[in-house]
């Protein structure tokens, strides 16, 4: 339907309740995720799919339709742990971090750590894409540091948030996604589109 614009953004989640509701064991979720990614890529790329693993089994089958993208849609994983980075290096095409809830230095260190992990695994780090998810908090007046409180990233005026966007882009982020779920502007599509257009000029 998207003519090749689809991106597979995945994560294993942390809540036991979500696993219980889905009828999936919480234990060994990391190993299950590793196997799931292998199965998914095989379904997307093989004409005849067959898989026998610890968690998933597929008898020889033809599964379609196949994706427009070749060999398959980009797979990006969320998460912020060494196991997530190992999973990305071994099975995925990139990372979806969330920016704005901590210092940007932490994000930069994580991106550098992910790329270093790729180098150690003999994988080209430039091939790993970084799609940063943010929840901008737009304020009418600049946040001041006179009170002793440090400004949170992606919070402040358009220009302050714009400087954060430029800094994130300089870290090597390929793409930024703006979420408005925690903002009053999230109820107005026109305002969301207009804000995103204003932010986009800082990412060029």
pLDDT by residue (tens digit) across 116-136? 999 999 999 999 999 999 999
CA distance 134 to 127: 22
With respect to residue 4, please indicate whether it lies within any of the assigned structural domains: no
Angle at which helix 29-45 crosses helix 82-91, to 10 degrees, equals 20
Question: CATH number of the domain that 196 lies in?
Answer: 3.20.20.30
With respect to residue 34, please indicate whether it lies within any of the assigned structural domains: yes
pTM to 2 decimal places:
0.87
What integer is the mean pLDDT of 175-187? Answer: 84
Residue 145 has pLDDT above 60, yes or no: no
CA 155, 160, 164, 166 torsion-angle sign: positive
With respect to residue 3, please indicate whether it lies within any of the assigned structural domains: no
With respect to residue 2, please indicate whether it lies within any of the assigned structural domains: no
Q: Are residues 89 and 50 in the same domain?
A: no
Domains: count for the chain: 2
State which of 68, 91, 106 marks the end of a domain: 68
Q: Are residues 138 and 80 in the same domain?
A: yes
State the pLDDT at residue 185: 73
Domain interval for residue 195: 74-142+151-204
With respect to residue 112, please indicate whether it lies within any of the assigned structural domains: yes
Q: Are residues 26 and 104 in the same domain?
A: no
Q: Are residues 128 and 201 in the same domain?
A: yes
What integer is the mean pLDDT of 64-83? Answer: 93
């Amino acid at each position: 339907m998207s003519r090749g614009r689809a991106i597979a953004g995945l994560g294993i989640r942390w809540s036991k309740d979500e696993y219980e509701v889905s009828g999936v064991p919480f234990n060994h979720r990391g190993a299950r995720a590793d196997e799931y990614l292998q199965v998914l890529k095989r379904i997307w790329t093989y004409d005849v799919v067959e898989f026998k693993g610890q968690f998933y089994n597929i008898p020889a089958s033809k599964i379609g339709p196949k994706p427009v993208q070749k060999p398959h849609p980009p797979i990006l994983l969320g998460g912020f742990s060494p196991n997530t980075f190992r999973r990305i290096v071994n099975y995925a095409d990139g990372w979806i971090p969330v920016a704005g809830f901590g210092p940007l230095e932490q994000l930069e260190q994580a991106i550098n750590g992910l790329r270093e992990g790729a180098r150690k695994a003999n994988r080209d780090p430039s091939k790993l894409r970084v799609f940063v998810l943010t929840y901008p908090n737009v304020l009418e007046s600049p946040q001041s540091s006179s009170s002793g409180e440090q400004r949170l990233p992606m919070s402040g005026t358009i220009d302050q948030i714009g400087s954060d966007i430029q800094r994130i882009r300089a870290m090597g982020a390929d793409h930024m996604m703006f979420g408005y779920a925690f903002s009053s502007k999230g109820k107005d599509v026109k305002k969301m589109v207009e804000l995103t257009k204003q932010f986009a000029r800082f990412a060029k």
